[in-house]
Amino acid sequence: MNASRISALRHRTDAHAERAMVLAITSGKGGVGKTNVAANLSICLAGAFKRVLLMDADLGLGNLDVVMNLNSRYNLSHVLAGRKSIEEIIQLTSTGVEVICGGSGIEELANISPFQRQRLVDELDRLGHRADVIVIDTGAGIHTTVVGFCMASDHTLVVTTPEPTAMTDAYAMIKVLAGKHYTGRISLLVNMADSIGEGRKTYRQLAEVAARFLNTPVYDGGVLCRDELVSSAVRRREPVVLAYPRSLIADCFATISARLGNIRRTEPETTGFFQKVVNWLF
């Protein structure tokens, strides 16, 4: 993306006041491709002229910086320690996507005074107004913080592979959200399928079980096949849609992002996203 376009995206006014749509990317099992999905979908959304803020909220093992080739030495913890301002920890990438790393910052919010916490949450929520979409890479598993990010989001994209262990863990995540009366939309993305057919079958199986036993609709978040180009791109420290823009997998990411980008929030703006995360966690 060229510099003038990035600048145009950044300076679209804050009068564009509608709150960003928040998309949490999560999974039950680790290693199913969340970070790659988050990075590539964010880039596709930015390519479609959306202002995207991508947050690495994987508190333990965040590796978005590796996939996006960023030097993210600073994260929310540095803001909490008073060493950096929020603006200083946001990294603008050449794709137009703005990236912010959470580090262990969100959990550390428990250790500061309610006044300090509120100030920070207000600042974070103001960031939301600079974006059309906030994409959160949540990390894996049904831990409180991961679930908190999902519960606060408008749309949760659960990533699984066709492996039974990944499917079982994806179902467990959907069950937790349903049990907590999540009001957002849940979609399932099947990654690393051997074929589109296998991916579709995996989706149908999980969606049917969720409908029958949890009474919860799980929407179709698309299928991505296993593709050597993804790991090859990771080795080059470049997201695959940039490293191999004319590949089949890049096309699939573009199709999935176009569908996700069209989804609108059904509820009007009330509470900011970070406020909701904090309300949920503390």
Ligand X SMILES: Nc1ncnc2c1ncn2[C@@H]1O[C@H](COP(=O)(O)OP(=O)(O)OP(=O)(O)O)[C@@H](O)[C@H]1O
Name the packing angle between helices 248-261 and 34-47 (round to 10°): 70
Distance between CA atoms of 234 and 86, rounded to whole angstroms? 28
CB of 163 to ligand X, least distance (A): 12
CB of 228 to ligand X, least distance (A): 7
Query: Between 37 and 134, whose beta carbon lies closer to ligand X?
Result: 37
33 binds, among Mg ion, ligand X, none (CB under 5 to 8 A by kind): ligand X
CB of 147 to Mg ion, least distance (A): 16
26 is a contact residue toward Mg ion (CB under 5 A)? no
Query: Between 162 and 272, whose beta carbon lies closer to ligand X?
Result: 162
Query: Between 35 and 42, whose beta carbon lies closer to Mg ion?
Result: 35
CB of 191 to ligand X, least distance (A): 5
234 binds, among Mg ion, ligand X, none (CB under 5 to 8 A by kind): ligand X
Residues 6+ positions from 167 with CB-CB distance below 8 Å: 160, 161, 202, 205, 206
**Which residue has tokens 């592979």?**
161
CB of 215 to Mg ion, least distance (A): 30
Residue showing the smallest CB distance to Mg ion in the complex: 35
Contact 263, 21 (CB under 8 A): yes
CB of 61 to ligand X, least distance (A): 5
Query: Between 27 and 125, whose beta carbon lies closer to ligand X?
Result: 27
Q: Which of residues 28-67 bind Mg ion (CB under 5 A)?
A: 34-35
Query: Between 32 and 133, whose beta carbon lies closer to ligand X?
Result: 32
230 binds, among Mg ion, ligand X, none (CB under 5 to 8 A by kind): ligand X
Q: Can you give the binding site for ligand X, defined by CB under 6 A?
A: 27, 30-36, 58, 61, 63, 139-140, 191-192, 224, 226-227, 230-231, 234
Query: Between 167 and 230, whose beta carbon lies closer to ligand X?
Result: 230
116 binds, among ligand X, Mg ion, none (CB under 5 to 8 A by kind): none
Query: Between 26 and 93, whose beta carbon lies closer to Mg ion?
Result: 26
Q: Give me the phi and psi of 70, to 5 degrees please.
A: -110, 155
- Footprint of Mg ion (CB under 5 A): 34-35
